[in-house]
Amino acid sequence: MKKYKRNQRIGALMKIFAEKPNYLFSYNYFCGIFNAAKSTISEDVAIVKELVEEMNFGRIETISGASGGVMFISILGSKERNDILEQLCSLFSQKNRILPGGFIYLTDIFNNPRIVSNIAEVISSEFSNKHIDYIVTVETKGIPVAIMTGQKLNVPVAVIRRNNKITEGATVSINYVSGSSNNIQTMSLSKRSLKEDAEILIVDDFMKGGGTCKGMEDMMREFNANVVGTAVVIETIEPEKKLADNYISLLVLNNTSIKEGIIEIRPSPKLLK
């Protein structure tokens, strides 16, 4: 069987870790891949650990014992995070995004995997030391952010639907008041989506009144789930008082500026600590 050189193993290890952050790999798994002794892999992991720290990629956690192994936790440095937020601000504030009625066209951003990956990296870094079982979002625009955050935290996603679907099996439905329009709306989630007593991170693209996030919090109570936190990509500066509490946002939009034909958006002070 083939043998690999040390720098090949280091390269392959980093590739495998980067593609599956927060995933616990056993030493035996690597012994098999590289056809190498556990002591060799341990030395490789020590080198990778140092490299990850020196390059500010996050950290490597080693867990000893029979069910132990190695895990890469990806965490953005504050400089990288602030660079991402600044890039997002210039992207979101492009003038030609203003639509009739004072709406902003953001669909291309929320469907661009490269940008969404950066957004997800910011969110997952914020929650990297929390225990989370599921990401929960509501269709449609928040799904890519939810999926990529789930990928980085290595947890499944549950997508709340606006309507009941026959392919979801038995569902729990709730009514909620949209914070910005005061309309009553319905959301449904398949009963199979979540296990009991789950720890939840709610993720959404946009928060104005906070009614949708409040609705998701209410839905989580129906599942006996505990909301660990809520992350939205953009919140509007007004109304100042939102229906949801205990949330972080990446960006804050001055929604009264749009009437004048400008989009004023800046990194959220909640993140710049």
Q: Which residues would be at the binding site for a copy of itself (CB under 8 A)?
A: 2, 4, 6-8, 10-15, 17-20, 23, 47-48, 50-51, 54-55, 57, 99-101, 103-108, 111-114, 116-117, 139-141, 143-144, 147-148, 150-151, 154-159, 161, 166-169, 190, 192-193
Instruction: Return the DSSP state at 260.
Output: G
Of the pair 158, 244, the CB lying nearest a copy of itself is at 158
User: Least distance to a copy of itself from the beta carbon of 273, Å?
Assistant: 26
User: Least distance to a copy of itself from the beta carbon of 206, Å?
Assistant: 9
User: Least distance to a copy of itself from the beta carbon of 48, Å?
Assistant: 6
In terms of Cα–Cα distance, which of 126, 110, 194, 192 is closest to 155? 194
Of the pair 15, 270, the CB lying nearest a copy of itself is at 15
Tokens of 191: 């009963």
Of the pair 55, 262, the CB lying nearest a copy of itself is at 55
According to DSSP, the β-strands at 184-190 and 171-177 are: antiparallel
Contact at 8 Å (CB) between 231 and 65? no
3-state secondary structure 21-39: CCCCECHHHHHHHHCCCHH
Q: What's the count of helices (H) and strands (E) in the chain, helices before strands?
A: 8, 10
User: Least distance to a copy of itself from the beta carbon of 177, Å?
Assistant: 19
Sequence-separated (6 or more) residues with CB below 8 Å from residue 76: 58, 84, 121, 122, 125
User: Least distance to a copy of itself from the beta carbon of 108, Å?
Assistant: 7
Of the pair 241, 259, the CB lying nearest a copy of itself is at 259
User: Least distance to a copy of itself from the beta carbon of 153, Å?
Assistant: 9
Of the pair 140, 257, the CB lying nearest a copy of itself is at 140
Of the pair 115, 227, the CB lying nearest a copy of itself is at 115
Dihedral of alpha carbons 57, 58, 63, 69, sign: negative
